[in-house]
Amino acid sequence: MALACAAAALVISKVRVQAVAAPQEKTVEQVQKNIKVLTGMPQSQLIPVMNYFAASMGRRCNFCHVNNQGQWDYASDAKPEKDQAREMIKMVLDTNKNYFKGILEVSCYTCHRGVNHPLSVPVLPIARPSPQPGGGGGGANTPGAQPQASPTPRPSPPAPEALINKYVEAIGGQAAIDKIKSRTMKGTVALAMGATGTYETIQSMDKGYELFTTSFGTLERGVTGNGGWEKTPQGLHELTGQQLADAKFQMLLLSSLKLKDQYASLRFAGRDKINDRNVLIVLGTTPDKKRERLFFDAENGLLLRRISYLETMIGVIPQQIDFEDYRDVEGVKLPFTIRVSSTDSGNPFIVRTLTEIKLNGPADESKFNMPAATKP
């Protein structure tokens, strides 16, 4: 199970927002056995949705699924918790359909918030609400009180296109970005579950390869303009449908450098803080209506965080990528620390710490192609 979780976690593109159109793929009931309430859901969403259930409940897979001496029987209905989960899924689907016009307003996390039994009784003492500006809050004003001064007006919202342009200039300018035709990166990887290992990737304009090696095993993936593949200790298989689209998007050479090309619309979405840095947020919507939030450093313009959202029939699943330790690489500033956070409760984050990035060097073309299957 640990190896399966690690492999699933390393395939971090599962919940990425795609600018790449996803080919038609099989649904879960066409691939899995004994699917009763998740019918019609794309197969590629199965692992993210199962992780979302576990994170919402504060549980792991064996809470609902049967494991006999290390062997999983996911199709089995032996555990009553599985049937109860089906009833809860039906309740979520019916609630959104009947009361929110199909909008994903209610999910497992709405009530459970990481615990098996949702709280139905307020915890005392209840915190007092913060006072509203100007002495508001529903009660009458104190007689004789002096009127409150108007709060300092917030600055006008910046144009989202201006924030992206500032980011482009901050990392080196469009001319420097346009010179990049390939990139190789090497470093280490650390999983929240405690495993560490090595990481390397090769990227060209329409091809990509990456290799993760940890104590849980080795994971390799490759994509070309014609297809993709993945190799784990469980075997070698071809990537198709949404899985292929996800892998291609993750390994696109310029996915974090040419942001403007990825969205059909952009709007300013507010201000926040990441650690001690003030950030400005841009909400981008792709041509296929998927959403992503971009967090730019208000002072230097660098991209510090991306949060993407995968809409499924049971809720919206987020994934967060944090970019740290920007350094100059041949005239372009690139992050040397990348932290990916997801709803996988067994391994909620993966940190890649890069030790080497090279641009426009020779690429081993054979790495991109699907290797021959190993004979049993």
pLDDT at 20: 40
pLDDT at 371: 87
Give per-residue pLDDT as tens, 101-143.
888 889 999 999 888 888 888 889 888 877 665 555 444 444 4
Write down the pTM of the prediction.
Answer: 0.82
Give me 370's structure tokens. Answer: 């699907």
Which long-range contacts (C-beta less than 8 Å, at least 24 apart) are formed by 88-92? 89/37, 89/38, 89/314, 90/37, 92/314, 92/315
In the block, which residue shows the tokens 């991109």? 368
pLDDT value of position 18: 39
How confident is the model at residue 22, as a pLDDT?
47
pLDDT of residue 144: 52
Tens digit of pLDDT for each residue in 82-110? Answer: 999 999 999 999 999 999 988 888 999 99
Pick the range with the lowest mean pLDDT from 16-20, 92-96, 147-151, 226-230: 16-20
- For residue 316, the SS3 value is strand
| Residue-level length of the chain | 376
The residues facing 239 across adjacent strands are: 228
Number of H helices, E strands in the chain: 8, 15
pLDDT for res 184 = 94
How many CB atoms lie under 10 A from the CB of residue 304?
20
Rounded Cα distance, 1 and 6, in Å: 9
Identify the pLDDT of residue 168.
96
Angle 153-159-163 from CA coordinates, rounded to 5°: 110
> Integer distance in angstroms from the first to the last C-alpha of the chain?
22
Tens digits of per-residue pLDDT, 178-230?
999 999 999 999 998 888 999 999 998 888 999 999 988 899 999 988 889 99
| Beta carbons within 8 Å of 260's beta carbon, 6+ residues apart | 161, 164, 266
pLDDT band at 70 (very low <50, low <70, confident <90, very high): confident
DSSP state of 369: S
What is the pLDDT at residue 6?
Answer: 45
Q: Give residue 266's pLDDT.
A: 96
Residue 146 has pLDDT above 70, yes or no: no
What is the structure's pLDDT at 150?
58
Question: Would you give the distance in Å from CA 62 to the centre of its chain?
Answer: 24
Instruction: Calculate mean pLDDT across residues 66-82.
Output: 91
The per-residue pLDDT for 220 is: 94
The model's confidence at residue 375, banded by pLDDT at 50, 70 and 90, is: low
- pLDDT the model gives residue 262: 87
> What are the tens digits of pLDDT across the range 272-317?
999 999 999 999 998 888 899 999 999 999 999 999 998 899 999 9
Query: Which domains does the chain show, CATH number per domain?
Result: 1-118+158-370 (2.50.20.10)
More confident residue, 227 or 151: 227
